Amino acid sequence: MMHPSAPAADAPVHARNPGMALDLDWVAGVQANTSAIERRIAALPGRRSVKKDWQAAWLCRAISLIDLTTLAGDDTAGRVARLCAKARQPVRLDLLAALGMEGLTVGAVCVYHDMIAPARAALAGSAIPIAAVSTGFPAGLSPLATRLAEIEASVAAGAAEIDIVISRRHVLTGDWQALYDETRAMRAACGPAHMKAILATGELGSLRNVARASLVAMMGGADFIKTSTGKEPVNATLPVSLTMLRAIRAYGERTGHAVGFKPAGGISKAKDALVYMALMREELGLPWLSPALFRFGASSLLGDIERQLEHHLSGAYSAANRHPMG
């Protein structure tokens, strides 16, 4: 059922971003035209939409881009096992069969360090990677040595991806050297694991700070840059996302290295996922519509996508309890 106009299902695996020497002149010259960014975003939802089979295809692609996440203080091994079961079979089997999408899985499962072991057990035999939040998540205010040790422990426990958080104070005070040095050290601690740098954009004060922090994180070797922890009052927004995507494009043009993007927090509706995907396609191109370069940090998003897919097939909306998380 997948339409040929859907995003390519199997994009090539991209080489990791090795980073580069800190270029303070480049950082200082970065600007963000807030009014222009807002005009660009305001026009996006009305101009870019997909319908019927095209929409179903894009929503299936969106599922493969989800980092299915549980980051609650009351997480248990049982909850993580249920989440992993949903990751392995994100949509009811009858719907997947009708869509011709048997075998579809999410992009990764994202958990705290203590939940890596139950996640590994629940995902055994699958190709779904485990992402662990680290470095004193969500505030990132523990001593650097402690944060680096936390990264190393999570990699040793089996995390293939590490979501680190930057020190916001370095951005707010313009201490780009400190931010760069910290990011480089974290990248080294990640070893073979891919590093996603969470900028906590809702706490950075301006889009210009977001653009500069994005650039420094990539110079430091981030394989992905991520909007938010999901714990800030303001998480992923389209203006912030556009700012970060433009930084990714500039970095790629300068260095030849592709860096991924992960919006997180507040993305719970299928229609919102489609808008983000349209933005990615327009700003960075089809290669970024793959798990190698784009992830949604979400959990409730999956339930709404499954509900929309059932509506596409049956013509009726079902109750949310027909699409449990596990």
Q: pLDDT tens, 168-178?
A: 999 999 999 99
The answer to whether the CB of 241 falls within 8 A of the CB of 263 is: yes
- The two tokens of residue 286 are 């089809």
Are 227 and 67 a contacting pair, CB within 8 Å? no
Which one of the listed residues 67, 196, 223, 262 is annotated catalytic? 262
The string of pLDDT tens digits covering residues 193-246 is: 999 999 999 999 999 999 999 999 999 999 999 999 999 989 999 999 999 999
Considering the candidates 67, 86, 163, 272, report the single residue annotated as catalytic.
Answer: 163
pLDDT at position 322 is 67
Active site residue 51: no
Could you tell me what percent of the chain has a pLDDT over 70?
92
Give pLDDT tens digits for 46-99: 655 778 899 999 999 999 999 999 999 999 999 999 999 999 999 999 999 999
Tell me whether residue 163 is one of the annotated catalytic residues: yes
CA–CA gap between residue 261 and residue 26 (Å, rounded): 21
Amino acid at 289: L
Backbone φ and ψ for 109, nearest 5 degrees, come out as -115, 130
State the number of CA atoms in the 13 A half-sphere of 53 facing the CB.
10
Of 67, 196, 226, 272, catalytic: 226
CA–CA separation, 216 and 23 (whole Å): 8
For 67-71, 179-183, 315-319, which range has the lowest pLDDT when averaged over its residues? 315-319
Q: Enumerate domains of the chain plus CATH numbers.
A: 24-48+110-294 (3.20.20.70)
How far apart are alpha carbons 278 and 280 in whole angstroms?
A: 5
209, amino acid identity:
N
Quick one: average pLDDT of 136-159? 97
Model confidence, pTM: 0.93
Instruction: With beta carbons less than 8 A apart as the criterion, state whether 301 and 269 touch.
Output: yes
- What pLDDT does residue 321 have? 66
Residue with tokens 């906590």: 200
